[in-house]
Structure 1
């Protein structure tokens, strides 16, 4: 098994998202002698996930064989109708970032302190979205612009304007490439490697594989029917959680029914207001690369 895993890593192969049966092989025996294993897998390399990111494998019934057949379903990539907001870490390096945050934070809002913070964060989303959200596209454009300028410089080596333009584009490209590395590192959720230009390709590959595995190709609803269209899958999710939370839960005892188990000084300590140092300490220990909360902000 160790040699097999080494071969997969060497060939840069990863398992496709799989639906259907859990086990792909059985020894065709019954009782305590029966053995079932997952021996068969559908694998893909980087180019596969790049061009067929929404594909998935399906394991069918084995019939009279001891192995289950695996079919690969190729699906046309569907662009989501609306992408939810997610804070991009490289925004914090933008020269106008602090001014944008400060401008939004100084706006007056009504309501409780938590409500005002919620409204400030919501308003900040619209301002941050105006910044670059796809540094990979920006980097590609800057590379092409720099290439064109350098071709012109080859014909006009003494042109001062072209030389200044080349210097500016080189600086912009270096910043954009650094942002691109941070962007794909954040999408890959890799925690053990620092971002950098040399790691951008690796982060991009991990992000594409992760995106492919997270894609829901089809779902089994409560009636036992498989749903494959994105609209049906979304509606099934809404109905599931609606039924889950609409269901009348079992009766819970009132909190007052439980005996008190805290000393008075402990109770007073729990009810005391948080100090500024405690809040700063708690925020400073948060992982800036953790998965974003429902509001789109991480850390």
Structure 2
């Protein structure tokens, strides 16, 4: 952590252009060290030159960079960049918050469900249910029925996706090892063909599941992507968590109940 005297991305300076040549070494260092910014709040720009008018420059020079080991050990780490007062750099306060209670998970649609041959029929059947009431009430009930149906489909056809993918991989690996020892064995070749199809389906489902949770669509299939997906999912979970908030009275709080109250008060 500290003043790196260099921005990491082109959007981290206002008032003066960022040249790609000046950030390339820093970006390469961050990439090779497999580190990333800790979750932060408060001021985005952490330094300014204190000049006036068009000569004022704001930059993000200070940051806290962490590796995967730190993220795993202290997932609830947050750095808050405060106002700089008469200094040119903003002070950063690092806090490791206690583990928060996990709330109810929202319903999510996974595109892999559409690969199931039953998908269209069961969704159509669920949507065509007859309900009494206003049009909006009927739509809400139809959506609820579709949600329940898709949850059942997920449990029956796509439950324990990671376990299924692993078992399919092990089965395929065993058969291919046996086939290499006995290349002319016709039955092994047939079983290997079926196992390969089952693995491709299981692996596709697993990657689709991870991609959806990580919300990345710029990576295509492949074994090397699973670590990336897991890391991206972890990053999203951390950055979507609100550890502290300033209420309408200007007071900061990190108490989970008070954070919730601050949200409710703001949106009343």
Say which of 129, 145, 162 aligns to 1:139.
162
1:16 aligns to 2:42 (yes or no) = no
User: What residue in structure 1 maps to residue 201 of structure 2?
Assistant: 175
More deviation in 83-92 or 30-39? 30-39
SS of 2:163's partner is helix
The answer to whether the 8 Å contact 1:57/1:73 transfers is yes
In the TM superposition, 1:220-259 aligns within 5 A as 220-242=246-268
Return the offset for 1:35.
Answer: 5.4
Compared with structure 1, are the counterparts of its residues 174 and 214 closer, same or farther at alpha carbon in structure 2 (3 Å cutoff)?
A: same
User: What residue in structure 2 maps to residue 194 of structure 1?
Assistant: 220
Compared with structure 1, are the counterparts of its residues 136 and 97 closer, same or farther at alpha carbon in structure 2 (3 Å cutoff)?
A: closer
The answer to whether the 8 Å contact 1:218/1:233 transfers is yes
User: What's the CA shift string for 1:86-134, capped at 9, x where partnerless?
Assistant: 1122122223322321321232122455543332111111222234479
Q: Give the whole-Å Cα distance in 1 for the aligned partners of 2:96 and 2:164.
A: 31
- Higher strand fraction: Structure 1 or Structure 2? 2
The answer to whether the 8 Å contact 2:82/2:92 transfers is yes
The answer to whether the 8 Å contact 1:25/1:38 transfers is yes
Compared with structure 1, are the counterparts of its residues 64 and 110 closer, same or farther at alpha carbon in structure 2 (3 Å cutoff)?
A: closer
Structure with greater Cα Rg: 1
Q: Give the whole-Å Cα distance in 1 for the aligned partners of 2:42 and 2:225.
A: 35
| Unmatched 5+ stretches in structure 2 | 1-21, 178-190
Q: Give the whole-Å Cα distance in 2 for the aligned partners of 1:129 and 1:45.
A: 36
Q: Give the whole-Å Cα distance in 1 for the aligned partners of 2:206 and 2:64.
A: 31
Compared with structure 1, are the counterparts of its residues 98 and 77 closer, same or farther at alpha carbon in structure 2 (3 Å cutoff)?
A: farther
1:98 aligns to 2:120 (yes or no) = yes
User: What residue in structure 2 maps to residue 255 of structure 1?
Assistant: none
SS of 1:129's partner is helix
In the TM superposition, 1:70-85 aligns within 5 A as 70-85=92-107
| Unmatched 5+ stretches in structure 1 | 155-164, 243-299
Q: Give the whole-Å Cα distance in 2 for the aligned partners of 1:136 and 1:10.
A: 36
Return the offset for 1:55.
Answer: 1.7
Return the offset for 1:220.
Answer: 0.3
Q: Give the whole-Å Cα distance in 2 for the aligned partners of 1:232 and 1:135.
A: 38
Compared with structure 1, are the counterparts of its residues 229 and 136 closer, same or farther at alpha carbon in structure 2 (3 Å cutoff)?
A: farther
The answer to whether the 8 Å contact 1:135/1:183 transfers is no
Say which of 106, 116, 119 aligns to 2:141.
119
The answer to whether the 8 Å contact 1:136/1:180 transfers is no
Compared with structure 1, are the counterparts of its residues 77 and 42 closer, same or farther at alpha carbon in structure 2 (3 Å cutoff)?
A: same
Compared with structure 1, are the counterparts of its residues 113 and 127 closer, same or farther at alpha carbon in structure 2 (3 Å cutoff)?
A: same
The answer to whether the 8 Å contact 2:112/2:205 transfers is yes
